[in-house]
Structure 1
Amino acid sequence: MMYSVQTYGYLDLVEGVRQLGGKYPFLSAHVIGQSVMEKPIIALRCGTGPRLIHMNGSIHANEWITSALLMRFVGDLSAAYYSGEKLCGQHVDQLCSEVTLWAVPMVNPDGVELSQRGVPQSHPWYPQLLEWNGGSDQFSGWKGNIRGVDLNDQFPAHWEEECKRRGITSPGPRDYPGPYPLSEPEALTMARFTEALPFAAVIALHTQGREIYWNYRDYEPAEAEGMARRLGQASGYQPVKLTGSDAGYKDWFIQHFRRPGFTVEAGYGENPLPMAQFDRIYVELQPLLLEALKL
């Protein structure tokens, strides 16, 4: 699968989905919702097993490299399943008969596009976005969706406390939790999607720090820490017991379902991580994601 040299955007995702769907008849694409700007939010289904695992990327706009990483993994898993060849030294045909992966590679397509391309004067949100960005036309650091809401502060898991902690009361590049939980169509889409399917565990891909966050206010099941250690051993990433954070996707999943949820901070550096780091990050991440299918 080819990626553009500098970025990986929504059109790259759509083309990647088209290529994978045309090559592997057992892989299916599903539109599970729309962004504010009515871009379809796409989920990929791979495998036939009764145990369901979910992975997502690009909840934060300037962490768009996670979409490319997740798409590469779906492609590699599908290729190994199709050909019978090994992935990370393991045959996956048995695994894919036991597990089904549901991947949402780009939760925040509008934000990704804004972070990568900026905003032309013809854009319907141009005046507001420029104002929310402090008058700057440089949007590479933008984390939120097109309405300036941080989608990983949107979930109903002690949301009010996250609002107090953030202290951000209006739209902007980052850290605004929105007017109320699940106010944004992207966050609402993810909540409804997650409620509709009985996921055994979820992985939310972010950048950066080479860390794995596995807990939430002691709501996590007893086995979560051991699972995080397994993911850490596979990747070299450090499992971290995190405090002082609420309203994230994995926080809500853990609290709502009492099942294992993990935020994986891939790579290291300053966001947005450049595509020049892609191969190095993927070497670490591929065995972690494969191990996650066995959780």
Structure 2
Amino acid sequence: MKVVSRSRDTLAYYSQLFQIPQVLLEDANPTIAEGNLPTDIEVQIPGFVTDKESRSGSTLREIALRSQLPLDALSLLNQVEKETVSVPVRIINPLLVIEKPYDYQSLLDDLDILSFHYPFIQVESIGKSVLGKELLEVRVGQGKKVIHYNGSFHANEWITSAVLMKWLNDLLVAVTNDRTLCSVDCMSFYQNVTISIVPMVDPDGVDLVIKGEQAAEGKFDVLKMNNGNPAFYAWKANIRGVDLNNQYPANWEIEKRRKLPKAPAPRDFPGQYSLSEPEALAMKELAERRNFERVIALHTQGKEFYWGYEGHEPEHSASMAREFEMRSGYRAVQYVDSHAGYKDWFIQEFKRPGFTIELGTGINPLPLSHLPGIYEDSVKILMAGLYM
């Protein structure tokens, strides 16, 4: 919601008027300095929308009493008298509908919705996919400690993107309404932690799984790579047939030597060399740039998670794993016979906690009917990741 400032208005006053933490107003309006606001500038009020109400002979005071709002909140929004009155309405429920095949356009549309209503979030491109789609990172919070989450490293695991976007929406509702989520005070994390989310690492592959061959834009013979099968539900790779979670320099040579196939394919091909794919390289450079405190990568399926790599994990990873296991019911697994994953590389390079969470059970892509149960379990891990 936008308002137009008046003489002697301040962000502190707007914070009191709309019961929104001042830090959120400051982050939503980064070009506005402290103190009295210049007159007649637009100011973003996060977590609100406006509704229209007919005056019908009513005064602003009468409408304010009826709406249980401060009179000056109405006065601020109705500085010019019109036949209808703009009424501020607090957003108390999630805005996104994520129970749908969650393709790249769904992600773009939902990020637009959240950025418009919660302008204190930051959305930034960290690179481009093979087909030129922007790889988007969302950041929330002010803390120096940066905790990273990602989804859809694998194309047919796109439900992980939906989970992350639902969580982001729930977080934003909690922060702007002074609520907890999984018994965690969300406003306190905002000032002490920065959340980094890349909801969709492999947008080209996700679109291929959901939309079919047309998603390749005629640039890659995905039908041939898929053995002539026009259904791409089993496709895990990027659009060039490279498994993005087999791309990292953490014993990549072992995976290259033992993995089949030996050429681009729907799954498991680690590429001709490590970090050959722009999506994988962008995620490596992001970790180096942000200096993540920890990494939590969402995959499917198995209701378990992996938290170690070759003994490089720090001691407190074990206590985090126990907490995740207790809260979610997912099984904690320290080591698996696998290399070259993003979590593997992160643990090896930074000696910090990294987790691969395998959401749900079944056959990928998991059906949307599983989403409520998956979210109920996984949100407990996502929140625990903030404070452990």
* Fold shared, TM-score > 0.5 on shorter chain: yes
Q: Over the residues paired in the alignment, what is the CA RMSD in angstroms?
A: 1.3
Q: How many residues align structurally?
A: 294
After superposition, the Cα gap between the structure-2 partners of 1:122 and 1:176, relative to the gap in structure 1 and judged at 3 Å, is: closer
1:270 aligns with 2:339: no
1:165 Cα deviation from its structure 2 partner: 2.4
Residue matched to 1:288? 381
Query: Which residue, out of 217, 235, 252, partners 1:159?
Result: 252
Residue matched to 1:14? 108
1:7 Cα deviation from its structure 2 partner: 0.7
1:70 Cα deviation from its structure 2 partner: 0.4
1:2 Cα deviation from its structure 2 partner: 3.6
Instruction: Structure 2: give runs of 5+ residues left out of the alignment.
Output: 1-94
| Deviation readout 1:18-55 (Å, 9 max, x if unpaired) | 11111112211011100000000000001111111000
Query: Which residue, out of 322, 325, 329, partners 1:232?
Result: 325
- Which whole-Å CA distance do the structure 1 matches of 2:97 and 2:183 have between them? 25
1:272 Cα deviation from its structure 2 partner: 0.1
1:112 aligns with 2:206: yes
Aligned-partner residue type, residue 280 of structure 1: G
After superposition, the Cα gap between the structure-2 partners of 1:5 and 1:53, relative to the gap in structure 1 and judged at 3 Å, is: closer
1:253 aligns with 2:367: no
Query: Which residue, out of 165, 179, 183, partners 1:71?
Result: 165
1:29 aligns with 2:119: no
1:214 aligns with 2:307: yes
RCO higher in structure (CA 8 A, sep ≥6): 1
Query: Which residue, out of 211, 236, 247, partners 1:143?
Result: 236
After superposition, the Cα gap between the structure-2 partners of 1:4 and 1:87, relative to the gap in structure 1 and judged at 3 Å, is: closer
Residue matched to 2:21? none
- Which whole-Å CA distance do the structure 2 matches of 1:121 and 1:233 have between them? 41
1:92 aligns with 2:202: no
- Which whole-Å CA distance do the structure 1 matches of 2:279 and 2:318 have between them? 29
Instruction: Name the SS of the counterpart of 1:170 in structure 2.
Output: coil
Instruction: Name the SS of the counterpart of 2:217 in structure 1.
Output: coil
After superposition, the Cα gap between the structure-2 partners of 1:238 and 1:122, relative to the gap in structure 1 and judged at 3 Å, is: closer
Aligned-partner residue type, residue 123 of structure 2: A
Q: Say whether the 8 Å CA contact 1:6–1:274 is kept in structure 2.
A: no
Q: Say whether the 8 Å CA contact 1:217–1:243 is kept in structure 2.
A: no
1:44 aligns with 2:165: no
- The correspondence of residues 184-195 of structure 1 with structure 2, limited to 5 A, is 184-195=277-288
TM-score by length of 2: 0.74
Q: Say whether the 8 Å CA contact 1:266–1:285 is kept in structure 2.
A: yes
1:90 Cα deviation from its structure 2 partner: 2.9
- Which whole-Å CA distance do the structure 2 matches of 1:190 and 1:2 have between them? 26
Aligned-partner residue type, residue 136 of structure 1: N
Instruction: Name the SS of the counterpart of 1:120 in structure 2.
Output: helix
- Which whole-Å CA distance do the structure 1 matches of 2:100 and 2:177 have between them? 31
Deviating runs (4+, > 4 A) in structure 1?
none
* Greater displacement, 7-16 / 83-92: 83-92
After superposition, the Cα gap between the structure-2 partners of 1:3 and 1:121, relative to the gap in structure 1 and judged at 3 Å, is: closer
After superposition, the Cα gap between the structure-2 partners of 1:262 and 1:122, relative to the gap in structure 1 and judged at 3 Å, is: closer
TM-score by length of 1: 0.97
1:5 Cα deviation from its structure 2 partner: 4.7
- Which whole-Å CA distance do the structure 2 matches of 1:156 and 1:293 have between them? 27
- Which whole-Å CA distance do the structure 1 matches of 2:378 and 2:327 have between them? 8
1:234 Cα deviation from its structure 2 partner: 1.6
Residue matched to 1:196? 289
- Which whole-Å CA distance do the structure 1 matches of 2:311 and 2:185 have between them? 36
Q: Say whether the 8 Å CA contact 1:3–1:12 is kept in structure 2.
A: no
* Greater displacement, 247-256 / 222-231: 222-231
% identity of equivalent residues? 46
Q: Say whether the 8 Å CA contact 2:99–2:371 is kept in structure 1.
A: no
Aligned-partner residue type, residue 190 of structure 1: M
Residue matched to 2:276? 183
Whichever of the two has the greater Rg, that structure is: 2
